Amino acid sequence: MYTYQNLLDESDFLKRCGGARIGSVGKTLDGREIPYIFVGTTSGPQIIITAGIHAREHIGSYLAVRQAARYLSGQRTAGKNKDTSDFLKFRIQNPESRLSGGIYFIPMCNPDGNALISKGLCGIRRAQLRRGLPGILKNKNRSLFKANARGVDLNVNFDARWGTGKQNARQPGTENYIGLYPFSESETRALRDFTMAVRPSATVSYHCIGRELYWEFGQTGGARVRDLSIAQHLNERLGYKIVSDDGSSAGGYKDWCIQALGIPSFTIELVSEEHTHPFTDYRSAKEDIERNLDLPERLLRYLC
């Protein structure tokens, strides 16, 4: 499983290699930083790529860091016991890439959930949170956990038709619980505030599973035509199923970006059913990694 510690180690490597700026979006309930990786320039269009908002969806986190690695400007070693070959492979594929604009990668929006899956209850440091988790898990397999450390599904906690989704739950659990109110969670507030500060031209959110591309949330007129056109452009390389909004989902980051900011925003569901288990080797998702590797760059060029 791709873990939070993997992300911290590899973010540090990207920083030391050059070509990437590392920062924090904010902190989780359990006090973990939510890292971002910035590549490109602050002039021109800016886009945000998120992943790992659901705890078990670590493959998206792995992908997002590999996408950022395409823009390394150096080849320094990563230090003792660190295999750099994976990163350098992704850099070599596109050694002369130059961006007209900037990309903010937020590879793991839910580090606490990731820690719970990878380490068990001992992965949660705050005693109050740890005591509440057995009642949330209810003997379910923790490997399928999607929520944060308080049992809130972060991707239904945004203020966009909040609480109206067909699968929404009203009690803490492993998935689908909407929280007490929109932006009740520190993670969603941090992502909201960071997005408002960046004011991106577009966003992409990576999830698992299904090989689908979602683009719609009530747009009309020119915005609807624009966003569908971008979705079709991105899908030329992906070959996924383009899915329209049937009103069944609400409260997601994509939904909020479209509604609040009026920008194109997309959810991309990676991989097939065989990758549902979070302990599946993320390297086995090679086909989806390759399809998506240059997507941020292609989106940025389209917006230019």
CATH code of the domain covering residue 80: 3.40.630.10
pLDDT of 96? 47
> Are the C-beta atoms of 204 and 233 separated by less than 8 Å?
no
The region, left, alpha or beta by phi > 0 then psi within -120 to 50, assigned to residue 288 is alpha
How many distinct structural domains can be found in the chain? 1
Assigned token pair, 292 = 């998506």
pLDDT of 80? 45
> Are the C-beta atoms of 194 and 163 separated by less than 8 Å?
no
Q: Torsion angle, CA of 35/40/45/50, rounded to 10 degrees?
A: -30
pLDDT band at 285 (very low <50, low <70, confident <90, very high): confident
Domain that holds residue 151: 4-303
> Are the C-beta atoms of 252 and 266 separated by less than 8 Å?
no
Residue 100 predicted with pLDDT over 90: no
The bridge status of strand 241-243 relative to strand 202-208 is unpaired
Residue 82 predicted with pLDDT over 70: no
Residue among 35, 39, 30, 72 nearest 50 (CA): 35
Residue 95 predicted with pLDDT over 60: no
- Angle, to 10 degrees, between the axis of helix 4-17 and the axis of helix 85-92? 60
pLDDT of 27? 98
> Are the C-beta atoms of 300 and 100 separated by less than 8 Å?
yes
> Are the C-beta atoms of 209 and 275 separated by less than 8 Å?
yes
Residue 273 predicted with pLDDT over 80: no
